[in-house]
Amino acid sequence: MKKLNALILTALLASPLAAMADGFYVGGQVGYGAQKSQLSDAIGGEKKDLETVIGSIKAGYDLNDYIGAEVRVSGVDKHSTGIKADYLASAYLKGMVPVTDSISLYGLVGATSVQMDKKVYGKDSLASASYGVGARYAMTDNIGINIEATQISSHKDYELGGVSLGVDYKF
């Protein structure tokens, strides 16, 4: 857990230096999804999906047209559901398949750490596998838009997945 947080922090701090290199990008996403947790269990005796808005900022580096790496910090609308997930930090390996010069499909595989309210959950954070698929359209050489479906957290005590739209800027 601490290694994942250290990796994400290192990647974010190194971002300004990497900005000068080809392949580096930054972006943001907003989406809609469902979350389940120990709290939703208490509502009806079983895990219920609680709908939420999901927002993320991301930074990544594409090594070539086929492989990249990405880190994200995400948040959910905790006011509408009562679930106390403060933020989520994710690190992904990204596999890409160029379809045309402007369109590429990609898959994400990685890990997510969810920072929780210790008073509610009895622990500071939960770590789990994270994965997703998406498509990116390059509007210009630098600006792209994407749509993706992700399972951001798959921990038994807190699950979060959704669909999002995003924009990124490649340096």
pLDDT tops 60 at residue 86: yes
Cα distances (angstroms) measured from residue 77 to each of 49, 71, 81, 83, 143: 14, 20, 7, 9, 27
CA–CA separation, 53 and 76 (whole Å):
6
Question: What value does the mean pLDDT take over residues 107-118?
Answer: 87
In this prediction, residue 85 carries a pLDDT of: 72
Its pTM stands at 0.78
Q: Which residues contact 91 (CB under 8 A, 6 or more apart)?
A: 4, 7, 8, 11, 69, 70, 71, 110, 111
pLDDT tops 60 at residue 107: yes
Amino acid at 165: L
User: For residue range 9-49, what is the model confidence (pLDDT) as tens digits?
Assistant: 555 555 555 555 688 999 999 999 888 776 555 545 455 67
Q: Which domains does the chain possess?
A: 2-170 (2.40.160.20)
SS3 28: strand
User: For residue range 118-165, what is the model confidence (pLDDT) as tens digits?
Assistant: 665 566 788 899 999 999 999 999 999 999 999 988 888 778 889 999
| Structure-block tokens of residue 112 | 């997510």
**Helices and strands, number each (H, E), in the chain:** 4, 8
Q: For the chain, state the CA radius of gyration.
A: 16
Residue where the block lists tokens 């005590």: 157
In this prediction, residue 155 carries a pLDDT of: 83
| Structure-block tokens of residue 133 | 């698929």
Q: Which helix (H) or strand (E) element contains residue 35?
A: strand 24-37
Cα–Cα–Cα angle for 32, 69, 21, rounded to 5 degrees: 115
